[in-house]
Amino acid sequence: MEKNIDKQILEKARTWLSDKYDAETRRQVQYLIDNDTQELVECFYRTLEFGTGGLRGIMGAGSNRMNKYTVGMATQGLANYLKKEIKNGQIKVAIAYDCRNNSSFFAKIAASVLSANDIKVYLFDSLRPTPELSFAVCHFSCHSGIVITASHNPKEYNGYKVYWSDGGQIVSPHDKNIIAEVNKIADTDEVKFSENGENIIIIGDEIDDIYLDKLCSLSLSPEIIKKHSDIKIVYTPLHGTGVKLVPKILQRMGFTNIINVPEQDINDGNFPTVLSPNPEESSALKMAIDKAIAINADLVMATDPDADRVGVAVRNKDNEFVLLNGNQTAAILTYYLLTKWEEKQLLKGNEYLVKTIVTSNLIKEIADKFNVECFDVLTGFKYIAEKIKENEGIKTFIAGGEESYGFLVGEFVRDKDAVMSCAMIAETAAWAKDNGKTFIDLLLDIYVKFGFYKEKLISLTKKGKTGVEEIQKMMHNFRINPPHELAGSDVIFIHDYQKSETADVRSNLQLPINQPKSNVLQFITEDGTVVSIRPSGTEPKIKFYISSHEGLDDVENYDKISTKIDIKIQKIIDELKIS
């Protein structure tokens, strides 16, 4: 089959047959050369890119796969950058990992390489949630952190995320500088794989206790929790790291009626009970909802494998379980937090919230009514962390959220935190109950007070080399041929974050955007509808976010207004030909 393979790809693959690669890797590469040309191309047509957040890819042999060698080269590049950047004292890095296949192996590879470079490593003794890694970076005054996870990606994926000393994921200039150092590693011979055990410190339960105590300090209604401690909560970690800490934080907060889903408490990187371990997808919560129905529970929560995002199911007015999307959960939590901060007279005028540009503007509407500043940042929680760092010691951060089910309260973690979010969601449910309301009642109250916002996310999957090219072509076409109207409303602004400029269509002016460059387009219509388009940074997808809103004068009109918004959103989907 070799004659059918691109010469450059074949030459690259053959370098992986040398004895500097282990026997299993050589066997896999030889098999691809002999039997599977298409897969060989996918494994070697490029080097797995170390992007602005780190690595993410399919596991296996090859330069475009997650394996010992690509992880080792990334870690050596990080080590080289840390040595250039940190001139004095011992360099320190914390490492955590999730439940995925090979996660502990990759974490140990990273620890070995760093230790061989005379860097002190704080390595968790077993799997831990990503937000705890963020916490550990700050707790140990580390210069950097690594977590091995591919979040909610399919089971064949894994990833490698890098954090900086503030506990947030790397941003400019460190992201680009680390990428440059990683790209300089041209060969595995440059990687120091030989572990220096003296530089590795194993950490575990003692950090859990400190982290959980900090989370408990965020509670705003301990007396209400005590009063409603027995609300029935069904929780599932979807085979992931949440099983370590979510039940513990709920118990510490005072909740006594937590029901698990035993089949999904088992840590398993094959995720045997779900099609996808993604709490955004209804199928992932099916087992938990079935249990909730059987035991007449009040609340269902599910966290993704690295426990930084949470999906929520609650009962509607017909007593049936419905899923909340990330925008709805963030809106309810924001409303609860600001209401309690106001009640406790904690709002002094310098507090703020942060949301991403594709997250519902309902968050800003709520913030405005409480006279709390709300910042918009690019998609990705690292930009929320960057905003926290920018305002450290100047303003008080209350919370931040994104539509993709990530939320954060307080400043001692600098990434989205599902452990913390589960605790706050349960507390909000108790508060609602104390006021004679359900979670859905709260949401409807918010719609009446602040406007009925509704969102739709369309994700188109485009896999492999051809998929990358197709996504690039789609973005190009939307740039050169933007829509003039959407669902009958004129497009009045076009935000192009890659060009860092806004086109004011009516005045024909070009206005600057004060955000880092990013491959995102936004179309804003005269009636306030927002359509955002961006390639995913972590999956082979292009995403379309559509948000529209109407006034809701009475909850009795909910169905009527909801249908009106749905019709508008569907019309936009048809016009953009993205269904």
Selection from 16, 9, 20, 7 nearest residue 61 by Cα: 16
φ and ψ at residue 131, rounded to 5 degrees: -60, -25
Q: What is the DSSP string of 312-359?
A: EEEE-TTS-EEEE-HHHHHHHHHHHHHHHHHHTT---S-EEEEEETTS
Strands of the sheet containing 92-97, edge to edge, are: 54-58, 157-164, 144-148, 92-97, 120-124, 200-203
Distance of alpha carbon 510 from the chain centroid: 32
Burial label for 501, CB within 10 Å (0-12, 13-18, 19+), is: middle
Where do the DSSP E strands lie in 34-82? Answer: 54-58
* Residue bearing tokens 């060009």: 499
According to DSSP, the residues that pair with 234 across neighbouring strands are 259, 300
Is residue 104 annotated as part of the catalytic site, yes or no? no
Other Cβ atoms less than 10 A from the Cβ of 101: the count is: 15
Residues shown for the chain: 579
Amino acid at 38: Q
Selection from 120, 161, 160 nearest residue 140 by Cα: 120
Reduced 3-state DSSP string for 478-535: HHHCCCCEECCEEEEEEEECCCCEEEECCCCEEEECCCCCCCCEEEEECCCCEEEEEE
Taking the C-alpha atoms of residue 188 and residue 171, their distance in angstroms, rounded to an integer, is 26
* Residue in 63, 151, 404, 518 annotated catalytic: 151
* Residue bearing tokens 């936004």: 522
Contact 216, 424 (CB under 8 A): no
Other Cβ atoms less than 10 A from the Cβ of 343: the count is: 11
Taking the C-alpha atoms of residue 72 and residue 185, their distance in angstroms, rounded to an integer, is 10
Q: What is the DSSP letter of 60?
A: S
- Active-site residues, by number, are 151
